[in-house]
Amino acid sequence: MNLPNKLTMLRILMIPVFLVVLYLGIPGGTYIALAVFVLASVTDFADGYLARSRGLVTDFGKFMDPLADKMLVMAAMLWFVEAGRMPAWAVLIVVVREFAVSGLRLIAVDNGRVIAAAWSGKVKTASTMVGICLMLLPVPGWVDPVVTAVIVITTVYSGIEYFVKNKDVMDWTNM
């Protein structure tokens, strides 16, 4: 297993650590969880950079890297829902967008086409990860709804952009 794939696996292994630290409720635990989340997020950027710059892109990495990202983000967002800091409908929007874009990509692959990550998708990912980091800090109460709004807006925008830019992938006439 190459280094980028090892970093992806490390990110997946950090998810239970992140959640256990949050659920233990120890004093300062959110700072430890924040450190774990930041480290996991950094592995996302590092494995992508290493894979592309060193020609180490693998099928495993293409599949597991985005899955690891989604698992990490969903774990954090579901914890915020349980803690009463994020509405479940916001998480649902993120989940629906992820399934829809993944479905679009599957249809495209079936037609011999690869849909690369769009810039808006990268903005969505970055703003979501930064927002989650902010919510793990002791911030004023107004930060949670602002972060939630940013996550929802960037998620919806990037989802719409994927479908608009790739509308030819879907055969809408046979619906």
**Which pLDDT tens digit goes with each residue over 20-67?**
999 998 899 999 999 999 999 999 888 888 888 888 888 888 788 889
Angle, CA of 68, 88 and 82, to the nearest 5°: 80
**Cβ–Cβ < 8 Å for 8, 47:** yes
Check residue 28 and give its pLDDT: 92
Averaged pLDDT of the chain: 92
- For residue 146, count CB atoms less than 10 angstroms from its CB and return exposed for 0-12, middle for 13-18, buried for 19 or more: middle
Mean pLDDT in residue range 146-169: 95
* CA quadruple 138, 139, 144, 150: dihedral sign: negative
Q: How confident is the model at residue 109 (pLDDT cuts 50, 70, 90)?
A: confident
Least confident of 6-15, 62-71, 144-153: 62-71
**Cβ–Cβ < 8 Å for 118, 161:** yes
Q: How confident is the model at residue 137 (pLDDT cuts 50, 70, 90)?
A: very high
Check residue 175 and give its pLDDT: 61
